[in-house]
Structure formats: structure tokens, C-alpha cells
Structure 1
Amino acid sequence: MTVNGIDIASYQSTDYSTSGLDFVLVKATEGSSYVNPKHAAQVATGRAHGLVVGHYHFARPGSMTAQADYFLAHCGAQAGDVLAFDWEDTGVPGADKDAWLRHVQAKAPEHRVILYCNRDFWLHRDSTSFCADGLWIADPSAPEGHPRVEHPWLFHQYSSAGGLDRNVGNFASPGALRAWAGKGPAPRYEPFPGAGWFTLGRRSPIVAAMHDRLVAAGCDHYTSTADKDVIGSGDVASYEAWQRKYNAAHHKGWTGSALKWPPGKETWDALHVPNV
């Protein structure tokens, strides 16, 4: 898994760091009378940096229909945004959880709708295993990406260190997450993940797919196929060879750093790394 994100609320900054992130889940509303005053600005930061955006509602005892409608009226969801129900209040029974999720699915069928809860709620308070389009499970005592639940999960909130909730998504790539969130087919080729994504030591199936495409393009500067899903010196040399080849073939006139690692969007798109 290579899809990383955070979830934030009003006590976090509006200009939070997005380095290394693929998604952000922002608190929008609570009950039927509270709106996060930083929600719009926090969402705007995520959008500006190309993150998949989600909005969540912190449920309180009361009418689930009223709370769901209040959430939908204030979250400002756009195409491709994820909608989430935050189930933490012990006064909200499982039946109400199901009611909120089903109401939002019916009112916003173009969006993915998911359930957030901790492991105790999922194992001891839930009785239906209903989580709409997927489960976002909080289990900070478990290793990253290994929450202690048997049910399939989409997001794992694995750490709250430093006052920031960190999450990992159970998706093969950022492109796969974006395709899922948009309720559309996965793209044929892997979207450019951003220059900052290409760090030495990163492990991802995207890296293995890139390796194979560079070899096929005649830019094989690898000394081994071992750990080909991990970015190493062979990837750097091979991709720089691809940039030189592309530069010459398309008469770009690039020099210096334009021909160096990390990859750029134009050459990445031209490499046609298949979606994984």
C-alpha cells in the first residue's frame, strides 16, 4: 500500500503540510448545529495540492435524517469527494449509524460513503457489519496497514502522534484511490503522482510497473530485478536515460536539471506506466 493521508478538524491548521499525502479527510459538521469553521479552508488546501478530499460528520444522539441533511447542506462536496460518518459517541446506536449511511447514500449517490469507527465500536457495538462503501477503522495500537479486524477495510487510522491523525489507504496506488472515489473505471495508465513521490527506498507496485516500462522502452540501466518495486539507483539511471531519449525524439531542447531525476509529468505520461 502506498496511499497515505491524514484526517483533520478545527484544532489543526488550514495550511497543513501535504508532503507525502494522497488524501485528506476533513471534519465538516457535528450533530445538527455545528460546522467546522476551518472546513472550507482546510478542504481548499487539499484540493490545491491535488489530494483526494473527504468530508466527515461527527454524529451525536438525535435524528439521523436531520444530521445527514445538515451535513450534506454544509460539506460542499464536489465530484470525487468521499463522505464519512464518524461514529464515536456511545449514545448513538448502531441502527442510527446504518440509518445515516443509507440516507446519505440515497441523497448523494454520486459519492462514496464510508463509516469511521474504532475497533471497540466495530467489534462490540456494531451488529450489522454495514459500512456502506467501506470501513475506515481506527486502531492506533496496530502496525500501519494491519488493523485488527477481519472485515475488509479501506482506511486505517494508525497513529495520532504529534496531534495529527495519520492514515493509510488500502489501495494499490493514488490513481486507484482516485478512480474508486470518483466511482469510475481505473485509468489505463498510472497518473503522475508528483515529483515529490519519487523518493529513494519507496516501495510500490507502481515502481515495478515503471521498471518494466523503462526496460521495454530500451532504457535499461538496471543491474538486477531484485526488489524492483523499490526505488533505487537503477530507477534513477534508467529514468534519466528515458528523459534523454524523449528529449531527443521530441526535439525538446532540455538541458541540465530538466534531464535529471525526479521524473516530470510530461515524460511520465509518455512512458505509459500501466495502472496497477
Structure 2
Amino acid sequence: MPANSSRSPHRRRARSGTAARAAALGGTLTAVLALVLTLAVPASAAQPPGPGERIQPGEAYMGVGTRIEQGTPPGGDRDGGTLAPADTSGVQGIDVSHWQGSINWNSVKAAGIDFAYIKATEGTSFKDSRFGANYTSAYYAGLIRGAYHFARPNYSNGATQANFFASNGGAWSRDNQTLPGVLDIEHNPSGAMCYGLSTTQMRTWINDFSTTYRARTGRDVVIYTTASWWNTCTGRWTGMSDKAPLWIAHWGVSSPTVPSGFPTWTIWQYTATGRVGGVAGDVDRNKFNGSMSRLLALANNTA
């Protein structure tokens, strides 16, 4: 074999190796550049599913069923609504879940938000992936905060879900910054409005959740709902009027409609398209029915 023939395979391999190393280096540089660009651009919140979209277990958020009832508030939408809040006076709050992504809670506090409710659990097994980070960071930013449970009455009885909630974020302590937990019970986002339960069955479910939660925490649970859902699915039940503070959801109005059986509202979710510094995109805005001293009384169980 000619001398140059014996060396050519090595030269080909050398050139091949050089090309491979160059390609690898190019790929590394591309990856590094992509990482730099990713870090340079602030992460935005994911887009939650809305009415008519399939809601998977764990994807529900406060107000998802209310959208089915009330639709998008006039003047805005969940993709960047411009609806002016009904009343930004007084003690203001927000509610969040993993859909809001990473939140700068110091900026939220600086924007004039005094309290926040944070999704902890849903049904019988789902735990919100950002609950721990949100709950802790909101505390250190100086907000009065609490946890909420998205009810799935067709998954189990009320006691089972109350125990799951109390064991996974819904507990309470008198530390001047922890609000009692919330039972978020609204229009089923995945099926029949009342989850296939009769009014009698729904009353039993809510009562079992409330009784179990109080036994676990020493506090009465706050109920988040709408007048339409409550009146329809519980049959205008008055059984929680002297037990549970009411968090009413009613958007785009100057005053909320209170469901039968409750004397007044404690918290009012007045829009689902609000904007707050420190939160990417829209966020639910809420108003407390009272002064800061009354909010602290609710937190410390001295009301």
C-alpha cells in the first residue's frame, strides 16, 4: 500500500474529530447563549385554563368556576384585561396559585396589598407546587396570609378533604399573620355545576368539611363562593351563617350580591383581571370588609 494511503485514514479521522469537536463547541455556545437569554428575560406566569377548556385535576384555581357563571368581567379579559377595579380603597388583598408563577412578594406589599390567600390543596391528593414558596415569602414580606382548598365534592366526603387541607398548608397559628383557611367551593369547572350532589348532600358535605376543619385547627373555615352557586347547590342554606365568614365573588359591580343565609360579606373578590406590582399578568383582587385592626382580629381569632 502506498505510504500516503496508509496515512490518509488517520488524516480523515483527525479531520472528522476536529469537525466533531467544533460542532460540540458550537452546540455548547448555543446552549450557553440560550441560557443567558432565558435568564435575561423575566419569567411570566403560565396561562391558566379558562371556561370551556379542559380542567385537569390540580389545575383549578380560585374563580375558575366563577368564570363559567359570570363570564369575563366587562372591560377586560384574562389575557390582559383592563377592567378598572370596583373599589381599591381600604384593606386590599390578592389570591394566587401556581398559575401566577414566581411572585415578588416585597413588591406586592409595596403596591399596597395587605393580605393574600394562597392555594394549598385541591380534592384529596393535589398539593399546589408553589404553595410553600408563596406562603413563606408572603410572611417575610409582611403580608397577613392564609391558605385555601379548592373543593372537589365529587371526589370524597368533606371530612376527608378537610383533613387533607389541614395537614398540607391549611393549619392555623396565632402569629399575627395567619388567616383561617378557606373552603373554595364554586361552580364545578369540570362537569355538572353542583358536582352531581343534591342540595341535601351538598349541605352535608360542607358541614362535614367545616366541622372537621374546626376540630383540626380550632378555627371556623372561611367560605369562598358566589350567590348563584350557593343558592342553587345548597338550596339557599342558612346553616353556615353563624359559623363561616363569607368570601363572596362578584365581579364588575359596585356592591356584591350576598347569598341567602349570610348576613354580610367579610371578603369581596371584585375582579379577576387586576394588576399588582410583583405579579406577572392578571391576578384576582379582593377587599376586606373592615379596617386593618379587624383583619388582624380575624387572623388572631379575637374578632
Alpha-carbon distance in structure 1 between the residues aligned to 2:209 and 2:97: 21
Distance apart, 1:7 and its partner CA: 0.6
The amino acid that maps onto 1:28 is: A
Alpha-carbon distance in structure 2 between the residues aligned to 1:45 and 1:112: 25
Query: Deviations along 1:51-97, whole A, 9 cap, x unmatched?
Result: 11111111112121111111111016333332110102321623312
Query: Deviations along 1:149-186, whole A, 9 cap, x unmatched?
Result: 26311000000115311000101x2122012220126x
Alpha-carbon distance in structure 2 between the residues aligned to 1:3 and 1:37: 28
After TM superposition, where is structure 1 displaced by more than 3 Å over at least 4 residues in a row? none
Note closer, same or farther for the CA distance 1:44–1:103 as it changes in structure 2 (3 Å cut): same
1:155 to 267, 287, 291: 267
Alpha-carbon distance in structure 2 between the residues aligned to 1:26 and 1:181: 15
Query: Deviations along 1:215-273, whole A, 9 cap, x unmatched?
Result: xxxxxxxxxxxxxxxxxxxxxxxxxxxxxxxxxxxxxxxxxxxxxxxxxxxxxxxxxxx
3-state DSSP of counterpart to 1:161: strand
- Report 1:229-248 matches (<5 A): none
Alpha-carbon distance in structure 2 between the residues aligned to 1:56 and 1:34: 12
Q: Could you tell me which residue of structure 1 aligns to residue 222 of structure 2?
A: 114
Q: Could you tell me which residue of structure 1 aligns to residue 92 of structure 2?
A: 4
Alpha-carbon distance in structure 2 between the residues aligned to 1:39 and 1:14: 11
Give the number of aligned pairs. 181
The amino acid that maps onto 2:164 is: Y
The amino acid that maps onto 1:32 is: T
**Structure 2 unmatched ranges of 5 or more:** 1-88, 189-193, 275-281
Distance apart, 1:44 and its partner CA: 1.4
- Report 1:105-254 matches (<5 A): 105-109=214-218, 111-126=219-234, 127-129=236-238, 130=240, 132-143=243-254, 146-149=255-258, 151-162=263-274, 163-171=282-290, 173-184=291-302
The amino acid that maps onto 1:9 is: S
The amino acid that maps onto 1:81 is: L
Note closer, same or farther for the CA distance 1:81–1:133 as it changes in structure 2 (3 Å cut): same
Alpha-carbon distance in structure 2 between the residues aligned to 1:14 and 1:82: 24
2:211 to 75, 78, 102: 102
Contact 2:148–2:170 (CA under 8 A) maintained in structure 1: no
Percent identity over paired residues: 29
Which is higher, the Rg of structure 1 or of structure 2? 2
The amino acid that maps onto 1:180 is: L
- Superposition RMSD in Å: 1.9
Alpha-carbon distance in structure 1 between the residues aligned to 2:267 and 2:138: 18
3-state DSSP of counterpart to 1:75: coil
- Report 1:32-111 matches (<5 A): 32-60=124-152, 61=154, 62-75=156-169, 77=171, 78-79=173-174, 80-88=178-186, 89=188, 90-91=194-195, 93-109=202-218, 111=219
The amino acid that maps onto 2:169 is: C
Alpha-carbon distance in structure 2 between the residues aligned to 1:167 and 1:181: 16
3-state DSSP of counterpart to 1:153: coil
TM-score, with normalisation over the residues of structure 1?
0.61
Contact 1:14–1:45 (CA under 8 A) maintained in structure 2: no
Query: Deviations along 1:118-162, whole A, 9 cap, x unmatched?
Result: 22112322232315331001001322xx21126311000000115
TM-score, with normalisation over the residues of structure 2?
0.56
Contact 1:13–1:42 (CA under 8 A) maintained in structure 2: no
Note closer, same or farther for the CA distance 1:76–1:154 as it changes in structure 2 (3 Å cut): closer
**Structure 1 unmatched ranges of 5 or more:** 186-276
Contact 1:81–1:112 (CA under 8 A) maintained in structure 2: no
Alpha-carbon distance in structure 2 between the residues aligned to 1:84 and 1:33: 17
Q: Could you tell me which residue of structure 2 aligns to residue 26 of structure 1?
A: 118
The amino acid that maps onto 1:113 is: V
Note closer, same or farther for the CA distance 1:94–1:121 as it changes in structure 2 (3 Å cut): farther
